[in-house]
Amino acid sequence: MGYDVAVIGAGIVGAACARALAAEGLRVVVLERDAAASGTTGRGEGNLLVSDKGPGPELVLAQRAAALWPGTVAALADELGPDFPAVEYEPKGGLVVATTEQGAEPLAAFAQTQRAAGVDARVIGVDDALALEPHLARGITAAVHYPEDAQVQPVVATEALLASARRHGAEVRTGVEVTGALRDAQGRLRGVATTAGEIAADRVVLAAGPWTGEISSRLGAHLPVRPRRGMVLVTTRMPHRVFRKVYDGDYFGATQSSDAALQTSSVVESTAAGTVLVGSSREQVGFDDRMRVEVLRQVAAKALRLFPFLSGASVMRAYGGFRPYMPDHLPVIGADHRLDGLWHATGHEGAGIGLSLATAELIAAGIAGRAAPIDPSPFSPQRASLAPHLAEEAA
Amino acid sequence: MTEVLVVGAGPAGLAAALAARARGAAVTLLDAADELGGQYWRHLPPQRPAARERALHHGWARFERMRRELEADPGCEVLTSAQVWAIEPADDDGRVGADGRLIDGGDRAVAGAAARAALVVHVLVGPVDGADRVARSIRPDALVLATGAHDRTLPFPGWDLPGVFTAGAAQALAKGERVAVGERVVVAGAGPFLLPVAASLAATGARVVGVHEANRPGRLAAGWLPRPWALIGAVGKAGELAGYAWNHVRHRIPYRTGSAVVAAHGTDRVEAVTIASLDRDWRPIAGTERRVEADAVCVSHGFTPRLELPIAAGCAITSDRFVVVDAGQGTSVAGVYAAGEITGIGGVDAALAEGAVAGHVAAGGSPTDAEISREMRARRTTTDFAGRIEASHGIRSGWTAWLDDDTLVCRCEEVPYGRLRATGDATCSTGLRSLKLTTRAGLGICQGRICGRTVEHLLGGDGGFADGVSTDRRPIAAPVRLAELAGASAPNRPEGHLRKETP
Amino acid sequence: MSARMLPAGSDPIRPGPTAPVTIHVDGEPVTGAAGQTIAGIVLANGRLAWRRTSSDGRPRGLFCGIGVCFDCIVTVNGDRDVRACQRRACDGDVVSSQHDELPEVHR
């Protein structure tokens, strides 16, 4: 007796997929090598952003996700009751600022293109920006307010999605690592071999984030997902003085860059616990998870350019994680064209928390053979922009 | 010349610095405190001289000798008020593997033929938690970690009331300030350390109304001596005056085994405690509770080694959570040594012996060298001390019976026991990282130093968690101001090698 | 009934003369002996608690006494989160107690 779907990975993408698939009435098992939210999900800030995305398919996905989050949060709260910790969903909005004269014009121009794509992107004056964030540095040159940006506690959200999936009949098995594929006589995937034995499933959804590269190879259909390291600093609790998700315009450049070398940009926000999260960095160093002081130094220095008052803030913790990086900067969502029965839900880089719900919706619709609310084709593993990278890997 | 950096200036660190100097190394000895001696020789500051301070200490003459020798030695830089906040790999020569070990020939089996440590130690020097401390980055040839341990106090109802202290706090205030934490004091917990604490309190003018050891006589006898009362002999190590005070008042201080403070009472401060008898597993025995008035309670159930720096350096940790060391005190990381309580709670004699061995080997010596044969012998004879303490005084599982649903487990984030369990049950999470982020236990400013082990135990993680996370890992080893971070020196800049001139 | 410093005259370790140091704690001048920590001075002056917790507003003072628990943190001359049990008092230090409330969160 097997499952309809095996989801590999209990990060937020796997959790959202499991919930959506279980809600379809499918028999779902989630296989997680370590523990839920122990990888990329637990190392992020919980960004639900439209502000950092230019017009294109990823923005469409983000807009769909932004529409799904409030209802999902309410449904999870109803379903799981008051004993379950709050997911700390906060539609606090984002404020993107330029700190140089040269940075001002591109910021406004970018917002203009986003507005044309339906994003609520409000170019505001410096005075208005200071009214929204009174502790912002005086020297900013431009600002755009994005009321649609929001934040969630990603680990609680993942656990809530998994708990909901379980209530719909899904099984969540942690400490189980996928070691290979099970195929039928026609070569179609019929399940996975794991450290806990063989698990039969009609379909396999691979949501292993930055570890997808390795797991997809084990399954025989490699996907070129690479880890991109990031670090976040956490201050001690302090009086509430950062009200939105505030970042400098460099952030967009860093997310879209393909450079492997260290890049930092400033992202600052408060949490429900009263701490302030200070990010962010991007570098491609494999899965090396050791803390680097130089990374912290750059992140700290840039944060002070946005919020000088943070100079005396105490940093009590730093954590790092690995974003699932795609060479063509788009998540991979959909059926693998090389291995029948394998589906991908990965490659969201630093946007997986926000995009998880919309990703799960696409996966569920695809597996159920239903039309999806947005066009899934740009995310297909078969897309043209990915083809050279797949070919390169094959060679 | 080999440059040895010793972190921690308690007994182990002092001994390590002296031994490394004796072997000809240039030594930097640093400590976060502004005085040498660690917690064991915590003493009055120079502004408060006292003619008979030695009377408060055991081995004071030895401490003074060690301190004098190191401070007068131009080959030893003594750096106090120096907080190590990070240790990171040095990647100047690309020799370090992902696990922090040397790739080329870093064979740890050859103790004494040590490869150079490939680490940078980041230090902030200045007033405690100051905002303008001076950054230093040190790239030693060998690193000796002697960071010691702190009290482990199990939660009980009311333990968050002002007036409840760790036993170490009472000791530090008595020795370092001549302040008694209260007038009517109850001392409770487990371990031979309770007695010197009671004695120090008595020598500081407090009235100790009782000392309560959770373990019962049978267990104490199994680990120690035929007669548990011989434990009083431990007081001999508390210092002449404390020993005198103890002897003077011992007949008036009830020393009770198999009993514990199971609750503290009061509204805004402690006013009384409930004492109960415990069974052999530390479960309170119904009907034995009695209320005792007190204005201070000092409670410790053992010690937690300070492991953040060894972990940051990449050192392997044993299953019972101490640093793995070889015969020469070498850790699993080339060029990194550990001594004292982080390798096992063994007391001052073990710390002194281990420190001397670590310093000697870090400076290029071998554990078989004649000049440290005495310390090697002492190290062997003190080895089983830690085991005996654990066998006699180790925490038993029944203590959770004294918790209420609203007893705080995490003091910083105010997470009560009931909510901790309910959240763990609701999420079914098997990963500690997720459990911490969903319960918030261990996420506060102390970063789980106080509650970490307790949270792990209460969430069922005694055998480890599915995500392999432990509360001992703190890459930021001490809080650092954002501006200090922004000005942190990049690793391996010239000032990273800064040190005073050596002969 | 409180913490107190053993009077020099009755201390058997025969302390020498000390210089006074005065700090201002929440606006009140408090005097101790030079070389004492902020926590030592405040405790010896009869104040057992000086922080209030964020969630429940409960009083906290010194707990571990050796810089591990951070219960005793105070703001010193404008610098937040200073461990009072570790920081030596300097004459004229302006010390204020901390009560860091949780932010208003719209869930």
Question: Rounded to an integer, what is the distance from CA A260 to the centroid of its chain?
Answer: 19
Residue C105 contacts A, CB cutoff 8 Å: yes
Give the pLDDT confidence score for residue B347 in this predicted structure: 86
Between β-strands C94-97 and B184-189, what pairing exists: parallel, antiparallel or unpaired?
unpaired
For chain C, the chains sharing at least 3 beta-carbon pairs closer than 8 angstroms are A, B
Asked if the structure places residue A76 within a domain, the reply is no
Which residue in B385, B391, B360 sits closest to B373, CA to CA? B360
Q: Are residues A302 and A274 in the same domain?
A: yes
Residue A324 has pLDDT above 90, yes or no: yes
Q: pLDDT tens digits, residue range B393-402? A: 889 999 999 9
C95: nearest Cα among C103, A114, C79, A19: C79
Residue in chain B closest to A274 (alpha carbons) equals: B444
Note whether C103 contacts A: Cβ–Cβ < 8 A: yes
Which burial class, exposed, middle or buried, applies to B349 when counting CB atoms under 10 A from its CB (0-12, 13-18, 19+)?
Answer: middle
Size of interface A-B (CB pairs under 8 A): 159
B87 three-class SS? strand
Locate the DSSP E strands across B126-268: 134-138, 142-145, 149-151, 164-165, 179-180, 184-189, 207-213, 255-257, 259-265
pLDDT of residue B249: 62
In the prediction, which pLDDT does B240 show?
Answer: 65
Most A CBs within 10 A among C71, C77, C104, C105, hence the mutation to make, goes to C105
Check whether residue A136 and residue A231 sit in a common domain: yes
Instruction: Choose from A255-259, A320-324, B196-200 the range with maximum mean pLDDT.
Output: A320-324
Q: What is the pLDDT of residues B109-118, one digit of tens each?
A: 333 445 789 9
Tell me the percentage of chain B whose pLDDT exceeds 70.
Answer: 85
Residue predicted with more confidence, B462 or B34: B34
Tell me how far apart the alpha carbons of residues A278 and A233 are, in angstroms, rounded to a whole number: 5
Q: Domain check: are A234 and A284 in the same one?
A: yes
Tens-place pLDDT, residues A69-98: 999 999 999 999 998 999 999 999 999 999
Q: Searching chain A, which residue's CA lies closest to the CA of residue C70?
A: A236
How far is B139 from B89, CA to CA, in rounded Å?
10
d(CA A193, CA A180): 5
Contact C105 A88 (CB under 8 A): yes
A4 near A203, Cβ under 8 Å? yes
Please check whether residue A99 lies inside any domain of the structure: yes
- Domains in chain B, CATH or no CATH each: 3-150+304-390 (3.50.50.60), 153-301 (3.50.50.60), 400-458 (no CATH)
- Give the model's pLDDT for residue A262: 87
Total domains in the fold of chain A: 2
A234 shares a domain with A143:
yes
Residues of B whose CB is below 8 A from A316: 445, 447, 476, 479
Residue type, C106: H
**In the predicted structure, residue B232 carries a pLDDT above the cut 50:** no
C54: Cβ–Cβ under 8 A, 6 or more apart, which residues?
A: A237, A274, B414, C99, C100, C101, C102
A251 pLDDT tier (thresholds 50, 70, 90) = low
Highest-pLDDT range among B247-251, B302-306, B388-392: B302-306
Cβ B427–A159 below 8 Å, yes or no?
yes
Of the pLDDT bands very low, low, confident and very high (cuts 50, 70, 90), residue B165 is very high
Q: Check whether residue A335 and residue A187 sit in a common domain.
A: yes
* Interchain CB distance below 8 Å, C12 and B55: yes
Within this chain, do residues A320 and A339 fall inside the same structural domain, yes or no? no
Q: Minimal Cα distance from B131: which residue of C?
A: C79
Q: Each residue of B263-307: pLDDT tens digit? A: 999 999 999 999 999 999 999 999 999 999 999 999 999 999 999
Q: Name every residue whose Cβ is closer than 8 Å to that of residue B203 and which is 6 or more positions away in sequence.
A: B56, B174, B239, B241, B242, B244, B245, C12
Task: Express as a percent the part of chain B with pLDDT over 90.
Answer: 73
Placement of tokens 């005073």 in the chain: B500
Rounded alpha-carbon distances, angstroms, from residue A212 to A155, B364, C20: 20, 46, 66
CA nearest B346: which of B193, B163, B161, B158? B193
**Residue B269 with chain C: CB contacts under 8 Å:** 48-49, 59
For chain C, say whether A290 makes contact (Cβ under 8 Å): no
Strand partners, C21: C32
pLDDT digits (tens, 9 = 90+) for B68-126: 999 999 999 999 999 999 999 997 543 443 333 333 433 333 334 457 899 999 999 99
One domain, residues A257 and A174: no
Grouping H, G, I as helix, E, B as strand and the rest as coil, residue A339 is coil
pLDDT reported for residue B104: 41
Q: C17 touching A, CB under 8 A?
A: no
Of C79, C102, C106, Cβ closest to residue A273: C102
The shortest CB-CB distance from A274 to any of C54, C78, C107 is to C54
Which domain does A25 fall in, by range?
A: 3-71+154-224+328-394
Chain C environment of B34 (Cβ under 8 Å): 88
Domain termination residue (choose one: A308, A325, A342): A325
Please check whether residues A217 and A349 belong to one and the same domain.
yes
Closest CA to B412 of C48, C54, A316, A274: C54
CB contact under 8 A, C81 and A240: no
Q: Across-strand partners of B266?
A: none
DSSP B274: E
Say whether pLDDT at B503 is over 80.
no
Q: What is the pLDDT of residues C21-62, one digit of tens each?
A: 999 999 999 999 999 999 999 999 999 999 999 999 999 999
Cβ–Cβ of B162/C79 closer than 8 Å? no
pLDDT of B412 strictly over 50: yes
Do A208 and A351 fall into the same domain? Answer: yes
Are A247 and A317 in the same domain? yes
CATH number at residue A272: 3.30.9.10
Residues A251 and A169 in one domain: no
Q: Do B44 and C35 touch (CB under 8 A)?
A: yes
Contact present, B302 and B345 (Cβ < 8 Å): yes
Does A292 lie at the interface with B, CB-CB under 8 angstroms? yes
Chain A residue closest in CA terms to B419: A83
Q: Residue A190: phi, psi to the nearest 5?
A: -125, 15
Average pLDDT over residues B440-448: 97
Q: Is the same domain home to A55 and A171? A: yes
| A370 confidence band (pLDDT: 50, 70, 90) | very high
* d(CA C82, nearest CA chain B) in Å: 5
Q: How many CB pairs under 8 A join B and C?
A: 175
State chain B's mean pLDDT as an integer: 88
CB–CB of A166 and B469 under 8 A?
no
Task: Please judge whether C64 and B168 are an interchain contact, meaning their C-beta atoms are less than 8 angstroms apart.
Answer: yes
Q: Is the pLDDT of residue C107 over 70?
A: no
A395: confidence class by pLDDT, cuts 50, 70, 90: low
pLDDT band (50, 70, 90) for residue C2: confident
> Is residue B256 pLDDT above 50, yes or no?
yes
User: Cα–Cα–Cα angle for B108, B114, B115, nearest 5°?
Assistant: 95
Which DSSP helix (H) or strand (E) runs through A105? helix A101-116
CATH number of the domain within which A166 lies? 3.50.50.60
The predicted model gives B162-174 an average pLDDT of 97
pLDDT of residue A52 exceeding 60, the answer is: yes
Indicate the angle between helix axes B373-393 and B347-362, nearest 10 degrees.
140
List the domains of chain C with CATH numbers: 19-97 (3.10.20.440)
* Separation CA B218–CA B214 (nearest Å): 12
- How far is C-alpha B143 from the chain's CA centre? 18
Last residue of a domain, one of A266, A293, A325: A325
Query: What pLDDT is recorded for position B384?
Result: 67
Instruction: Say if residue A385's pLDDT is above 80.
Output: yes
The dihedral formed by the CA atoms of B377, B381, B387 and B389, expressed in degrees to the nearest 10: -120
Q: What is the mean pLDDT of the segment spanning B409-429?
A: 96
Which of A325, A341, A366 terminates a domain? The answer is A325
Do residues C27 and C74 make contact, with C-beta atoms less than 8 angstroms apart? no
